[in-house]
Amino acid sequence: MAGQTGEEYSLEMDKFPYTALSKTYSVDQQMPDSAATATAYHCGVKANYGTLGLSAAARRDQCSTTQGNEVKSVLHRARMAGKSVGIVTTTRVQHASPAAAYSHSANRGWYSDKETSRNCKDIAYQLVHNTDINVILGGGRRYMLPKTVKDPEYPKYTGSRQDNTNLIDVWLKNKKNAKYVWNKKQLDDIDEEKTDYLMGLFEPKDLDYELYRSKDSDPSLTEMVEKAVKILRRNPKGFYLFVEGGRIDHGHHGNRARRALTETVEFDNAIGKALSLTSAQDTLSVVSADHSHVFTFGGYSARGNPVLGLSRIRAKDKKPFTTALYGNGPGYIRGSRPNLRTTVTDDKSYRQQSAVPLNSETHAIEDVAIFAQGPMAHLFHGVQEQSYIAHAMAYAACLEPYQDCQLTDRPNNF
């Protein structure tokens, strides 16, 4: 993408001075999902597959096991300590990774009251009621609006809520200097110096892939991060911001590597923007992943071969193959493989081949990287359980249960 050979290029996250590895399995499964993994790195405990903000004593789909098994995220603890807090994502804001920062749900799919049990509060409801979040940016409008309300951008669609409650209005009520936006222009017009609360929901569900994003109607992840940091950093007590490039995962599930890798580049751009707006003297920055995917590269290609290009060697069927491949997923070819050409593989929607046929590619179990810089970044070292991330961040900032840590080199922001 930069017009260079690529192998020697360093992402912003590659430049962080401290690294560690995270073991991502959940309590009940080898291959985790983003609900259990997000609970681990947000809240500091390993959890069961598909559950959010709950200890492993809770059971998926069993609403009655929620009460008494809730665990608090670092974001929530930071807010209780007086810091400003925010979440920014390219998925719906009720999706698993951000939702573990504020919700407690026995099923990650209980986005609104349309999907959940009557006895359990849905994730969108909890977004508004559980934690006083200053900045919320991403998708997910439909889960906040009643089924009788038309979407402002796509009038043929309506909200999904059955309780006739407009949660956006509920969130805005009794807040000073609070704004709600649903398109890029409205976001651009927000004056950060006069805004204490900002909710931006730019699509009914997830935001579009960066490859297809309308630059006039929807902001990029980088643009959302810039707005969030400029609002949150005004708090003299500091801030906590969670940022997710959530559609990286979605691209992989479809065996569409170009989508996933382009999302990764945009995620890295957002990291760079956040670093430019903060200082490593007072801001701890931590970058990691929920989990890995069954995604691989190979083929003995020459230096500088496009990462999404064809290998220079051929397979036993005498046909070319892409260097990027998947272990399983919808890219499986039944019968003989096609004779690939770069005119085909260069297409934005090209689906890489996979070894095993599945409707959706699965997560994998490899350890994932943790990159860190800033005060107390040296806490991130070695091979750690994923739940260690939350404890390291809480300890670094002297948040509950480490309020008495008495560190001199502790971060104000993270």
The maximal CA–CA distance of the chain, rounded, in angstroms, is 68
What pLDDT score does 1 carry? Answer: 87
Beta bridge partners of 287: 371
> Which residues, 6+ apart, have CB-to-CB distance to 276 below 8 Å?
none
Q: Is the separation of the CB atoms in 60 and 106 below 8 Å?
A: yes
> Burial of 148 by CB count in 10 Å (0-12 exposed, 13-18 middle, 19+ buried)?
exposed
Write down the pLDDT at residue 218. 96
Please give the pLDDT value at position 230.
98
The residue from 22, 34, 288, 387 that is catalytic is: 34
The span from the CA of 91 to the CA of 19, in Å, is 27
Count of residues making up the chain? 414
**CB–CB of 209/247 below 8 Å?**
yes
pLDDT of 410 reads 87
* Spans of the chain below 70 pLDDT: 117
Give the per-residue pLDDT at 119.
82
34 classed as catalytic: yes
pLDDT for residue 2: 85
pLDDT of residue 406: 84
Q: What are phi and psi of 394, to 5 degrees?
A: -65, -40
Query: Closest Cα to residue 171, out of 202, 199, 150, 194?
Result: 199
- Residue 67, both tokens: 């009460």
Residue 40: CB atoms within 10 Å: 28
Please give the Cα distance from 130 to 102 (Å, whole number).
Answer: 6
